[in-house]
């Protein structure tokens, strides 16, 4: 089974940009992606399940089951800009191999639809919350890096773990272009303010004015999803770090 994909539609897109928005530090990407989906009335066209997701079901308020899932949505540009593919979900994969597989499958689908550019979003852990968080970038190439810097980002120094890093890394390997937007966040809870800055920066790049009035509602939705999934970020992140050390043996 490993990674199974249900496509419900094959949209025709014009030079689409893939925007990664899975749960991660501060859930910055997750809130931003959900908000884009709601505000831009994005249309779901693919569901992705991986055997590297957690083996459980989670119940919603009305008793129906919810499984670990990733989804792809598309947005046709209204203002003559580029179309979007939004990658949303309630989980990353649980293993390194599963992460590679997942990113690989999503890039396969995006490339089939003509995508040549990837933006990943993430949180950059900071000890304290700040009103105006810094935004850091890494990119597939120097030219794209300059575009990211022109948006007001700073050069990222260090590692970009998980999907946010892998998306840009594997894009580079496939000779796609793209950058990461990593926003300062204490990272303990869904960080609506960080998501706001991610969306402002992304909007600048896309020439897209996203209404942020209801962003708190998107944050609340993510928060209630997280609570239903029983995710305790603070503990697991620390464990993850130790594990990263162990897994990088030489």
Name residues contacting its own copies, limited to 166-185 (CB under 8 A).
166, 168-170, 172-173, 180
96-135 residues near its own copies, rule: CB under 8 A: 96-97, 99-101, 104
Q: Which residues contact 108 (CB under 8 A, 6 or more apart)?
A: none
Q: For residues 16 and 190, which CB has a smaller minimum distance to its own copies in the complex? A: 190
Does position 19 interact with its own copies (CB under 8 A)? The reply is no
Q: Which pairing describes strands 3-7 and 135-139: parallel, antiparallel, or unpaired?
A: unpaired
Stretch that binds its own copies, among 35-43, 56-64, 126-134, 216-224 (CB under 8 A): 56-64
Q: Which of 56, 209, 211, 214 binds its own copies (CB under 8 A)?
A: 56
DSSP category for residue 249: -
Angle at 108 (CA atoms; ends 35, 2), nearest 5 degrees: 90
Q: Which pairing describes strands 17-21 and 43-50: parallel, antiparallel, or unpaired?
A: unpaired
Does position 63 interact with its own copies (CB under 8 A)? The reply is yes
Query: Taking each helix axis from N to C terminus, what angle separates 96-112 and 162-173, rounded to the nearest 10 degrees?
Result: 50
Q: For residues 40 and 160, which CB has a smaller minimum distance to its own copies in the complex? A: 160
Number of residues counted as binding its own copies (CB under 8 A): 78
Both structure tokens of 32: 């931003």
Does position 245 interact with its own copies (CB under 8 A)? The reply is yes
Q: For residues 66 and 82, which CB has a smaller minimum distance to its own copies in the complex? A: 66
Stretch that binds its own copies, among 190-198, 207-215, 216-224, 237-245 (CB under 8 A): 237-245
**Nearest CA-CA partner of 16 in 35, 38, 34, 42:** 42
Task: Please give the Cα distance from 103 to 184 (Å, whole number).
Answer: 24
């Amino acid at each position: 089974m490993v990674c199974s994909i249900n496509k419900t539609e094959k949209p025709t897109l014009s030079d689409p940009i893939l925007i990664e928005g899975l749960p991660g530090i501060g859930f910055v990407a997750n809130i931003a992606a959900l908000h884009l989906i709601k505000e831009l009335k994005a249309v779901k066209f693919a569901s992705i399940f991986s055997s590297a997701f957690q083996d459980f079901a989670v119940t919603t308020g009305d008793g129906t089951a919810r499984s670990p899932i990733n989804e792809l949505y598309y947005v046709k540009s209204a203002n003559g800009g580029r179309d979007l593919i939004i990658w949303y979900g309630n989980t990353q994969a649980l293993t390194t191999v599963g992460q590679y597989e997942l990113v690989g499958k999503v890039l396969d689908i995006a490339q089939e639809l003509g995508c040549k550019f990837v933006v990943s979003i993430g949180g950059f852990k900071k000890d304290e919350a700040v009103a105006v968080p810094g935004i850091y970038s890494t990119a597939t190439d120097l030219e794209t890096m300059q575009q990211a810097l022109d948006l007001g980002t700073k050069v990222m120094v260090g590692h970009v773990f998980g999907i946010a890093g892998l998306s840009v890394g594997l894009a580079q390997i496939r000779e796609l272009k793209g950058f990461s937007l990593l926003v300062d966040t204490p990272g303990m809870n869904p960080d609506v303010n960080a998501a706001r800055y991610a969306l402002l920066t992304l909007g600048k790049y896309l020439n897209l004015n996203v209404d942020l009035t209801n962003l708190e509602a998107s944050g609340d939705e993510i928060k209630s999803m997280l609570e239903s999934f029983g995710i305790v970020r603070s503990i697991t992140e620390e464990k993850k770090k130790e594990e990263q050390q162990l897994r990088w043996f030489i």
